[in-house]
Structures are given as structure tokens and as C-alpha cells.
Amino acid sequence: MIKGKWESYQMEGNIISVLKEKLKLLKADLKVWNRKVFGSVESDKRRIEMEIESLDGEDDIDALEDAGRLRRLDLLSQLGLVNKKLDSVYRKKARVNWLKHGDFNSKFFHSAIRWRRLKNEVKGVEVDSQWCKEPEVVRREAKSLFKKRFRATQDFGVHLGSVEFRSLPSEVSRNMVVSFSEEEVKDAV
């Protein structure tokens, strides 16, 4: 599609201006093609959400039949797919934005760093049902939380109950830890 469109643009003039104009035309054609092939994902999402909402309204007054319930399940799966598509598009747009403005000493870069710092900051903790912002108390509580969470125990939390495993007879298991002679190795080889 792209190759055909590119070759159909007939222009003359400076090679740079021809390239610029062809890219503009290709961008417009790609937008039309995208709309035709994929549709508008945002409008699909709104339409699906409105239909789910109307089915939920019917269900609230017990007027929803089995066919309506099946339709609602189908719409929910469609909504999941649409959300995945939108998520992918937003991730790609964010990546393009980062590549365009990312590591430069720009307003975008500093706002991204500030947002991440604020998101990761621990502003306080709840101690004995009271919110506390004092740095020393926050440090102490964080340390005790991690000590509790990552404490080594003899019990690894795996309990098999009454499950019995087949085991080797005691004589065979003893023979597995007995040292072997050089002659035994030569015979085995």
C-alpha cells in the first residue's frame, strides 16, 4: 500500500521539497487507511461502554434475558481488546514523546523526573492507627516492615499435608552415599 501510494505521487522540483510533499501526502493517506482498516478505537470504546451500561440498566430492573447476558459478556471481551489496543497506542506515543524530548534538559524531562520522584516517595506511615510523617519514624517502620517480611525461617511455608512420596529402601539410599573405589569406576566405564 505504501509503496503504491508513494509511486503514485508525481511531483517535480527540488528533491527536498518533493520528499517533504510526498511525506505530507503519505501521512494523510495513512490516516485515511488507518481509519478505514482499524476504525476509531476511542469511539468503539465509548460505544461498547454505552451498550454495556444500557444492558446493566436492564439487569438492574431484572429485564435482562439470557441473550442480553451473553451479549454483555461478548461486549466485555471486546472492551478488553479495545483497552489493549489503546494501551499499546498510548505506550507507543509515550515512547515517541520520550525519544523526542526525553533526555534533553527540557521541561518535559524535568516534569517526568519530578513525577517519578513524587510517585516513589514515601510521605508517611500509619503507626498505631495514627498517620506519622516524621522521617525517623518512617525509617524505623520501613526497616521493621522489611525485617518482618524477609526474615529467614526454618519453615518455608510449604505444607504437603498427608501426601506421601515414594522413597528408596534404606539399604539402597545408604549405598548412594557410600564412597566408591577406583576399580568400580573403571568397571563402570
**Residue 141, domain member (yes or no):** no
User: Considering the domain boundaries, does residue 149 fall inside one?
Assistant: no
The reply to whether 139 falls in a domain is no
Determine, yes or no, domain membership for 53. yes
Q: Tell whether 23 is covered by a domain.
A: yes
Residue 65: other Cβ atoms inside 10 A: 10
pLDDT at 153 over 70: no
Taking the alpha carbons at both ends of the chain, their separation in whole angstroms is 66
* pLDDT tens digit sequence for 45-95: 999 999 989 888 888 888 878 888 888 899 999 999 999 988 988 898 888
Instruction: Give the residue among 26, 24, 20 at the shortest CA–CA distance from 8.
Output: 26
Question: Residue 76: which of 54, 97, 49 has the closest Cα?
Answer: 49
Q: Is residue 160 part of a domain?
A: no
Check pLDDT > 90 for residue 27. yes
Supply the range of the domain harboring residue 86.
2-102
Q: Is the pLDDT of residue 171 over 80?
A: yes
Inside any domain, residue 33: yes
Q: How many domains does the chain have?
A: 1
Name 122's Cβ contacts closer than 8 Å, sequence gap at least 6: 138, 142
For residue 130, tell me if it sits in a domain: no
